[in-house]
Amino acid sequence: MSKTAIVCDSNTAITQAQAKEMGIYVLPYPFHIEGETYYEDISLTTDQFYQKLNDKIDVATSQPSPESVTELWDKALQDHEELVYIPMSSGLSGSCSSAYGYSQEPRYEGRVYVIDN
């Protein structure tokens, strides 16, 4: 068992394939397009995203849900003693502040460290 897991979000531009090769975890950001929710590099490729923008389709973003963040943390903590989570900068999104709040839950005490990049 490795001691520390590295977890980031897809804002880092690390693809799911690259993350797998590097042994890290990447939380995909959600996009809302025409009433549907897509996840970066999971159900929506970069090319598809830019094609929708080019087609002038309304695309909205939001921070990952609390459940998606904590589910990924729980998965990482199955094989690691602790994790470092690097979300999108607090200057660009509320996701860092939210993640810090989740990390204060008793089950994550001393195991999850949120870094504001």
Q: What is the pTM of this model?
A: 0.88
CB 88 within 8 A of CB 9: yes
Average pLDDT over residues 28-54: 90
CA distance 43 to 41: 6
39 forms beta bridges with 30
Average pLDDT over residues 46-73: 91
Q: What is the mean pLDDT of the chain?
A: 93
Handedness of CA 22, 92, 68, 32 (dihedral sign): negative
Quickly list DSSP for 59-77: EEE-PPPHHHHHHHHHHHH
Name the token pair of 81: 């003693």
Average pLDDT over residues 96-112: 96
CB 76 within 8 A of CB 113: no
**Residue labelled with tokens 């849900």:** 65
pLDDT band with cut points at 50, 70 and 90 for residue 1: low
